[in-house]
Amino acid sequence: MASRNFNRLQALEKEIKKLYVKISTDGSADVSSIDGLGVESVSHAANVYTIILQDKYVSFKHVSAISGVAADFQVNSEDVAGAKSVVIESSVAQNSTDIYVELVLKNTTVK
């Protein structure tokens, strides 16, 4: 555990929340495990990963994903206020690697 004084996240918008999830994949790029708070589940089909959140959020702000396999990731769809989902697609198969995802979400309608 780090022995430092950490400060709050600074943002111009109120109630910005960040969720982090590590998605581990097997040899066929299927999800073998997930590690991260606030994420209910992750499913895979044809280089597309559907992330289901545990909670609803007012709005989606950003997603960033990197992995051990060189690839570009794009957002296919998001519905954080209803279905609690963010769908990302990889440009190549993510076989036997870890995908690290950062989700930035807003938790209030106040500006």
Q: With CA atoms as reference, report the closest residue to 41 among 52, 54, 56.
A: 52
Residue 80 is assigned to a structural domain of this protein: yes
| pLDDT of the residue at 2 | 65
| pLDDT of the residue at 19 | 97
User: Whole-structure pTM over 0.95, yes or no?
Assistant: no
Residue 11 is assigned to a structural domain of this protein: no
Distance from C-alpha of 12 to C-alpha of 33, rounded to nearest angstrom: 35
Distance from C-alpha of 52 to C-alpha of 80, rounded to nearest angstrom: 9
Residue 49 is assigned to a structural domain of this protein: yes
Q: Phi and psi (nearest 5°) for 52? A: -105, 125
Residue 6 is assigned to a structural domain of this protein: no
Residue 21 is assigned to a structural domain of this protein: yes
| pLDDT of the residue at 82 | 97
Residue 77 has pLDDT above 80, yes or no: yes
